[in-house]
Amino acid sequence: MAITGVLRPGHTQLRVLDLEASVKFYTDIMGLEETGRDSSGRVYFKCLDEVDHHSLIIRQSEKTGMDFYGFRVLDRQTLEKLDSDLRAFGIPTTHIPAGDLLETGERIRFTVPSGHVIELYAEKTNIGNSRGYLNPEVVIEGRRGISPVRLDHWQVHGGDIDGSVKVFTKILGFSVTEQILLGDGTAAAVWLSCSNKAHDIAFVRDERDNTLHHTAFYLDSWHDVLNAADIMGKYRVKVDIGPTRHGITRGATIYAFDPSGNRFETFAGGYTFYPDIPPITWTEDEMGAAIFYHDRKLNEAFLTVVT
């Protein structure tokens, strides 16, 4: 599959209640690398296997949640075309100048019908990783804590997910990989991919617009998910559910909360997706198995807690 438009989730900006406590959590427990701080007080991180300058940004706030969700596109020409296509579709866009985020080029920002602020960008400084590009070793140096491989996906909640899915499929080129349909045929949730992954973003129907359910970080294997569980236990991280497996995406998972109460996921596995594969549909009566395949039931916190 040639990826020629939107490439992948690239970065996200998270609001935290205690900046330095959050820095300690994301470096010592999550095992991310701090890559910079800017004049507004924001702190930047990347996973150790990522090569771009950052994938997670945190800022001090009195309210938790996510400010925006950034996707990297192929090149400047692609960015300009998607900007034009969005405006032609009736979605206003704002141009954020290069340098507003550290080591990041111009961003195109817009709001989808579910209230979420989405960004597209084509340029970010490649600072590399410990393995390099010439005859690299397989070992990632400097690992500590959970040490995920990459920022993987988001699950977000809002009212008009049908409108948001339309923007992502009709304009941004995403494919629907899976969905949960209620008895009347209404989509309760939709999973979408811009790549060969089982999903890059998921939208869940919820009266609370512009809310975040979780940010997901990818691990290499089920063994790494179990190791993450051990680390969470050692450091008394508040766990929502897991380790377990999803029916949707077939991924292995743990859901937990950072010190501010923002939910994150450590995720491994999932299948390879191609655009000619029809969407997988789950019915309302099998929603428990769709989300948590082993015990086939949902918990209250998972259904109700968003930031």
Q: Is 116 a catalytic residue?
A: no
153 assigned to active site: yes
Catalytic residue among 11, 33, 214, 218: 214
| Active site annotation includes 95 | no
Q: Does the annotation count 213 as an active-site position? A: no
Catalytic residue chosen out of the listed positions 153, 157, 213, 218: 153
Task: Tell me if residue 199 is catalytic.
Answer: yes
Residue 286: active-site member: no
Q: Which of 50, 106, 119, 265 is catalytic?
A: 265
Three-state SS for the chain is: CCCCCEEEEEEEEEEECCHHHHHHHHHHHCCCEEEEECCCCCEEEECCCCCECCCEEEEECCCCEEEEEEEEECCHHHHHHHHHHHHHCCCCCEEECCCCCCCECCEEEEECCCCCEEEEECCECECCCCCCCCCCCCCCCCCCCCCCCEEEEEEEEECCHHHHHHHHHHHCCCEEEEEEECCCCCEEEEEEECCCCCCCEEEEECCCCCEEEEEEEECCCHHHHHHHHHHHHHCCCCEEEEEEECCCCCEEEEEEECCCCCEEEEEEECCCCCCCCCCEEEEHHHHHHHHCCCCCCCCHHHHHCCC
**Catalytic member of 53, 54, 157, 199:** 199
Which sequence positions are flagged as catalytic? Answer: 153, 199, 214, 246, 255, 265
